[in-house]
Amino acid sequence: MPRPLKFPTKVLIGFDDETIKALDMYRRKNDLPNRSEAVRQLVERGLASKPEPTKPHRTVKRTEA
């Protein structure tokens, strides 16, 4: 029987080069083993520090008649 996965849900996300550089710097500064762990830590911190976002107001473009 295979061992259970620690993180069974996988998510594919994309970053621009500048964000990857910043993520790698964060990872090295905090001695994290890989980018995935850095992303998990940043997401957990962000969710813990900010209140739930409010629903954005929809703006309606009006056309002149």
- Domain range list for the chain: 17-49
Reported residue count of the chain is: 65
- 10 Å Cβ neighbour count for 38? 20
27 near 34, Cβ under 8 Å?
A: yes
Model confidence pLDDT, tens digit, residues 17-36: 999 999 999 999 999 999 99
Type of residue at 30: N
Q: What is the pTM of this model?
A: 0.67
Predicted local confidence at residue 25, as pLDDT: 98
